[in-house]
Amino acid sequence: MTQTASDDNDGKHHLPDKFGVVLGWTANSFDERIVLCMQSSRLRPKSDTDVEEFRYMLDKQQAALLGNFLIRMAGETAPAPRRKGWRRWFGQPEHSVIE
């Protein structure tokens, strides 16, 4: 179940119980899966014990959907794919056929 911020009858804005600030993340690819490790804290961390670490296993489609969702939520557009190898150096179109 997803928890979101809400307004109670008192008109005040309340945050969900499980709330924290993202401090950092790493991701590792294993075959068709990605392990996303996120670090967060409810308080300004004063020691390592103030930082919580969560690991999520996603398939690559879930990772792409999550990435695209976050890009849209941020009001950004996805970066254009980079041209690969020597073609970017010499200005060759990506799908050209050289005879």
Nearest Cα residue to 31 out of 56, 60, 61 = 60
Contact 51, 23 (CB under 8 A): yes
Q: How far, in Å, CA of 9 to CA of 97, rounded?
A: 67
Beta strands in the chain (DSSP E): 6-7, 13-14, 21-30, 33-41, 52-59
What are the pLDDT tens digits along the chain (99 aa)? 444 445 556 667 666 677 889 999 999 998 899 999 999 998 888 888 889 999 999 999 999 999 999 999 999 998 887 776 766 667 655 554 554
Whole-model pTM?
0.60
